[in-house]
Amino acid sequence: MGIILGIDVGGSTTKIVGIKDGNCFAMLQVRAGDQVTSMYGAIGNLLSKHELLPSDVEKINLTGVGASFINEQVHGIETRKVDEFNAIGLGALSLTGLDEALVVSMGTGTAFVRATRNEVAHLGGSGVGGGTIIGLASQMVGKSDVDAVLALAERGRLCNVDLSVRDILNNDLQTLPSDLTAANFGKIKSTASEEDIALGIVNMVFETAGMMTVFALKNDTIKNVVLTGTLATFPQAETVFSKFRKHVGLNFTIPKDAVFATALGATFS
């Protein structure tokens, strides 16, 4: 059996995974000014790094928003486009070994995919995601680079921007623990620093994804949630979703290679 490449062509970054004999041997990502350049760059990088020729590759499976710009057989290799939501679901299950899960794919926006070994269904999505972080941060703290925003957020304090349940209640309610957020940016102070505001933005995006997850699984038997995509690797993700684990009875998992879940899933589609 030859090599299969799964490629997730995103808006700004392309992720590529190489599979041989059912085993993953390579994962890498490439940034470029446009999707086509990014995709070809990712393929060239992987082939060069592992001393492979295009003839060693049996098939290329493309997915992601940028795949629509690719309309040719890449390097003469059999090239097909696969459904992104199917790739999201299969990739998350493969990374975690779970038989079923709600997959929350957090990129520019956020997609919610219900995945089992037999069926993958796209439940819906939210426009709140990485694009929200960059857009708000550029206006509120003058930063449009994600690494710069994260560096600020790591030094921020939520108590200077968010209104918590403890701020409005004297005692805990059974369904409203005091450490939950009552209103994002509901207590922002004139003295709030750029660091506080950056953390408030990142926290708001993660809390929105978390609450939409809770609503999506309200009447479902699935209790496992897998977080994938670039945002899942942000250090604040574990902090926010550990709070959801504690209070809502769902098992939130961030797999080691969460960024590559969709590319990996494309190889199985």
* pLDDT (tens place) for every residue of the chain, 269 residues total: 589 999 999 877 899 999 999 899 999 999 877 888 999 999 999 999 999 999 999 999 999 989 998 988 999 999 999 999 999 999 999 999 999 999 999 998 999 999 999 999 999 999 999 999 999 999 999 999 999 999 999 999 999 999 998 888 866 666 667 778 999 999 998 899 999 999 999 999 999 999 999 999 999 999 999 999 999 999 999 999 998 988 888 999 999 999 999 999 999 98
Instruction: Assign domain 99-255 to its CATH superfamily.
Output: ATPase, nucleotide binding domain (3.30.420.40)
Nearest to 225 by CA among 51, 86, 93: 93
CA separation for the pair 108, 1 (Å, rounded)? 35
Question: Could you tell me where in the chain the CATH 3.30.420.40 domains are found?
Answer: 3-81, 99-255
User: What is the pLDDT, as a whole number, of residue 11?
Assistant: 76
Residue 199's CB: how many other CB atoms inside 10 A?
A: 26
User: What is the pLDDT, as a whole number, of residue 180?
Assistant: 84
User: What is the pLDDT, as a whole number, of residue 173?
Assistant: 63
What does CATH list as the number for 3-81?
3.30.420.40
Residue 205's CB: how many other CB atoms inside 10 A?
A: 26
User: What is the pLDDT, as a whole number, of residue 31?
Assistant: 85
| Tokens matching residue 63 | 């997915």
| Tokens matching residue 160 | 């200077």
Q: Taking the model in full, what pTM does it have?
A: 0.92
| Tokens matching residue 157 | 């304090």
User: What is the pLDDT, as a whole number, of residue 247?
Assistant: 85
